[in-house]
Structure 1
């Protein structure tokens, strides 16, 4: 059955990829057709009538009629939709609401309809086609996948519409066909308790010696999966040997019954894993599944910082980025293993790009995909079947190349994800580059880091907050701090300019082991979904890390 499903998926996905590439060759006509169809289909909605979008005939008219707007402009409409009011942004009934992580402010409500899901599916299918091609070229077989997400909604609106992160809604609304690729019963992802869900998903995955794929929404979640595997190794192996399930698991009686019905002992596999644990001292994915074909997780942005740790846990397993997506829609399609750049998802959205010299303009002028320049950075603007028009998410992308008239773009950071002691605007991309170089230079591994600002000086000091990975030491913290300052000046020209006579010296804070785990727990307790949890690597919130204990604070000479 699994082989039949995978074969069918491969055929359909490869066809979708071919269609996508054909449309990409005609990107101008494809984008114009997409926009015209969107406006025609949605012209009688409340938003469509307000802006008279049915009168729009050309791309230029569209850009003249509708302003570039952030989510706040759409919030009153989505609130009405959440209350059950029909025909507001979309003419179709809302079947679900995607909840954003709130990284750009308060949580956002993104309406999902059957039609909007179909257009998202186009990009997902194309990405799967690129993945199938990459796997074939490298001789890596397809197979079962481990992805311990939850399908439980976070709650319901007053009109009864379920809401959850986009990863949850995708899994929950996916059809039976796609569920067959998971290495555990669907009941496993219906478990509410995170620790229990990870345990059960790992338990079924460990039984499968031929697991081929590990997936995670973000790289940090893949590392957390490894933590769960190591922490529960002995008990997982014991359950594999006996065919039982640990008594401490927080399972509803009905779920436990269904899972136990599908669970049985695998003593030979347990013996093998026990030997692995004994010989290596740790149970890691690269030992448990030495024939793992590839991983799927988000690329671009700050992912490379976490990818530096992947070889320890996953060996040289290649990484595919899937789609570049957000709660509002799919923005890009990845094309190969171990690459960060994506094609715009031209079948799923209409795209515009705001040049840097327009970022502070109230009504910015935009460029179309075929008008951008390689090496330049832009803010991405899109319109799609979720009912958003000229929507400025705040994502900053860099153009990596052109394929014909179509750009290849890399997500760098989100607007607002910057730090300024003066006016230098240090981004997550800048500090991630710096930390990667520091780890290599000092042969040290960081668990995580976040750069904040001090509150005892004007302009403030940069506070370099780091947590060392287990077993790591930093023998020359003062030299590490000096090197941080030097490298950041190399990778960020405006920081270098401001450091000459405005920004004071940075300070290093080494945090207690487990600090970021405690911060993660605190954020989840305050309502952030674990699947959407992205630690900011820069924050202007000076209280963000206040409750984390500092083991050592280091200052440079002359910093009194």
Structure 2
């Protein structure tokens, strides 16, 4: 039955993908049709009447009439929706409010309707179709999926609308059939305690030696799950053997009963895993599930830094990006394994792009997808069924090619995620490149890092805050920080100019105590950030961001 269901879902996904591929050959027509249908559908909403959508007949009329907007404009309208007012941004009822992670600013609430949810499901199916095609070419077999995302809502508005991370909404609103592809019961995603949720998902997955897909919203969460497996190996094996769930877990009693009833003792599988633990000294996903065909997690941005550690846990297992998306919508779909290029999701949104020479303009001149150039970077705007129009997502993307007529883009960094001692505007992408090179040059695996600015000096120094992985040390920290400075000059012209004329002082290295980023992680969770959205920024203008962490050594060049 499981194989039949998987085959059915694959066939649906392949058909949906083929329809999308045809659309990529008719870029302008597809985008125009999407926009005009969107405007007609929402013409009687508050914003639709304000901008007189019924009068707009062309793409150019839309761009002339509606300004480029950020979330600040939408905030009061979302407040009205939260209070229960209808027909504000969408003509359909709002069934959920996506809560953004707030990594680079305040949390945002984005309306979700059945129609916007259906569009997201469609682009997910397109991604599944591309994945099915890619693994077939490589003769990879896929089976059930391990995914430990939470089902916990953040809360409800005064009108009773549920709100929470987009991943929670996706799981709660997903089609029944797609819930069947998980290797664990759907209820295993319900524990409110993060460790308990990961533990029970792993426990059910360990029963199933032929796991096909290892999924995580972000690469750092995939590493976190691998760490849970390694640290709790003995307890997991014991529970697997007996068909029990560890009593020390913080697990809701009723949920514990429901999950325990679905477990059966697996002494044979437990014995096999115990042998692996004895011979290898640990359990890793690759050792436990050699059948894993691919990993599904976010690509682009900070991902490459974490991918450098994947081989230790996953070997050479290929990585698929799924969809490039955020709380505000889905913007791209990946078409192959181990590839950072996402095809613009032209069937789920209308897109415009702000070229770099317009980034400081209040109402910038925008380009349409057909006007983009390979190798150039742009800020992306979206109009979609979440009730957003010419919305500045805040993401900087680079065009890496075209799929038929449609651009392929790679997420680089958040536009507001900039670090400046003076005016050099160092991005997260810059420092990830540098730190990746330094890890290889010094054969030094890092647990994590974050570049901040010193508090007292004017202009401030860059502080290169690093935590070394357990069992490693840095023999020549002076050379490390000197090389950081040299390599950042190589790839970042503005930094090089301002360093060469002493506008920016030399950087300093700070080696943080072991466990520092685990402590920071817990601090962010305690502040209310859901684990599924937890992304450590690799640069921060908040000079208090790492306050409270123990600095073992500070090195000045």
Fold conserved between structures, TM > 0.5: yes
> Aligned to 2:449, what secondary structure does the other structure show?
strand
Deviation at 1:41, TM superposition (A): 0.2
Correspondence 1:542-557 to 2 at 5 A: 542-556=543-557
Q: Distance in 2 between matches of 1:144 and 1:414?
A: 33
Confirm whether residue 508 of structure 1 aligns to residue 513 of structure 2.
Answer: no
Q: Distance in 2 between matches of 1:80 and 1:276?
A: 57
Kept in 1, the 8 Å contact 2:142–2:292? The answer is no
Q: Distance in 2 between matches of 1:482 and 1:519?
A: 27
> Aligned to 1:119, what secondary structure does the other structure show?
helix
Q: Distance in 2 between matches of 1:231 and 1:169?
A: 30
Number of residue pairs the alignment of both structures matches: 556
Q: Distance in 2 between matches of 1:144 and 1:125?
A: 16
Alignment match, 2:116: 116
Deviation at 1:402, TM superposition (A): 2.0
Alignment match, 2:528: 527
Kept in 1, the 8 Å contact 2:341–2:409? The answer is yes
Correspondence 1:67-466 to 2 at 5 A: 67-466=67-466
Kept in 1, the 8 Å contact 2:380–2:393? The answer is yes
Give a deviation string over 1:289-323, Cα, whole Å, max 9, x none.
Answer: 11210000000001000000000011000000000
Give a deviation string over 1:36-84, Cα, whole Å, max 9, x none.
Answer: 0000000000111111111111111000000011111111111111111
TM-score in terms of structure 2 length: 0.99
Closer, same or farther: CA 545–104 of 1 in aligned 2, 3 Å:
closer
After superposition, the CA RMSD in angstroms is 0.8
Deviation at 1:449, TM superposition (A): 0.3
> Aligned to 2:204, what secondary structure does the other structure show?
helix
Give a deviation string over 1:320-339, Cα, whole Å, max 9, x none.
Answer: 00000000110000010000
Q: Distance in 2 between matches of 1:205 and 1:158?
A: 38
Confirm whether residue 517 of structure 1 aligns to residue 518 of structure 2.
Answer: yes
> Aligned to 1:389, what secondary structure does the other structure show?
strand
Give a deviation string over 1:421-442, Cα, whole Å, max 9, x none.
Answer: 0111100000000000000000
Deviation at 1:373, TM superposition (A): 0.8
Q: Distance in 1 between matches of 2:379 and 2:103?
A: 16
Q: Distance in 2 between matches of 1:52 and 1:44?
A: 9
Q: Distance in 2 between matches of 1:506 and 1:457?
A: 12
Give a deviation string over 1:453-498, Cα, whole Å, max 9, x none.
Answer: 0122211100000001111111111111111111111111111111
Q: Distance in 2 between matches of 1:449 and 1:50?
A: 47
Q: Distance in 2 between matches of 1:441 and 1:185?
A: 44
Kept in 1, the 8 Å contact 2:47–2:88? The answer is yes
Tell me whether 99-108 or 367-376 shows the greater mean CA deviation. 99-108
> Aligned to 2:408, what secondary structure does the other structure show?
strand
> Aligned to 1:270, what secondary structure does the other structure show?
helix
> Aligned to 2:270, what secondary structure does the other structure show?
helix
Give a deviation string over 1:260-281, Cα, whole Å, max 9, x none.
Answer: 1110111111111111111111
Q: Distance in 1 between matches of 2:311 and 2:21?
A: 33
Kept in 2, the 8 Å contact 1:508–1:553? The answer is yes
Deviation at 1:186, TM superposition (A): 1.1
> Aligned to 1:553, what secondary structure does the other structure show?
strand
Q: Distance in 2 between matches of 1:177 and 1:323?
A: 19
> Aligned to 1:332, what secondary structure does the other structure show?
strand
Deviation at 1:403, TM superposition (A): 2.9
Alignment match, 1:20: 20
> Aligned to 1:340, what secondary structure does the other structure show?
coil
TM-score in terms of structure 1 length: 0.98
> Aligned to 2:388, what secondary structure does the other structure show?
coil
Q: Which runs of 5+ in 2 are unaligned?
A: none
Kept in 1, the 8 Å contact 2:383–2:390? The answer is yes
Q: Distance in 2 between matches of 1:263 and 1:342?
A: 39
Q: Distance in 1 between matches of 2:232 and 2:342?
A: 37
Kept in 2, the 8 Å contact 1:397–1:409? The answer is yes
Deviation at 1:416, TM superposition (A): 1.1
Q: Distance in 2 between matches of 1:424 and 1:129?
A: 43
Deviation at 1:405, TM superposition (A): 2.4
Deviation at 1:152, TM superposition (A): 1.8
Deviation at 1:524, TM superposition (A): 0.7
Deviation at 1:175, TM superposition (A): 2.2
Tell me whether 116-125 or 41-50 shows the greater mean CA deviation. 116-125
Deviation at 1:243, TM superposition (A): 1.5
Deviation at 1:408, TM superposition (A): 1.0
Alignment match, 1:4: 4
> Aligned to 2:389, what secondary structure does the other structure show?
coil
Q: Distance in 1 between matches of 2:125 and 2:37?
A: 21
Kept in 2, the 8 Å contact 1:6–1:142? The answer is no
Q: Distance in 1 between matches of 2:491 and 2:450?
A: 17
> Aligned to 1:390, what secondary structure does the other structure show?
strand
Alignment match, 2:477: 477
Q: Distance in 1 between matches of 2:147 and 2:245?
A: 20
Q: Distance in 2 between matches of 1:493 and 1:463?
A: 19
> Aligned to 2:5, what secondary structure does the other structure show?
helix
Deviation at 1:122, TM superposition (A): 1.6
Confirm whether residue 540 of structure 1 aligns to residue 541 of structure 2.
Answer: yes
Poorly superposed stretches of 4+, deviation over 6 Å: none
> Aligned to 1:528, what secondary structure does the other structure show?
coil
Kept in 1, the 8 Å contact 2:141–2:293? The answer is yes
Deviation at 1:253, TM superposition (A): 2.0
Alignment match, 1:55: 55
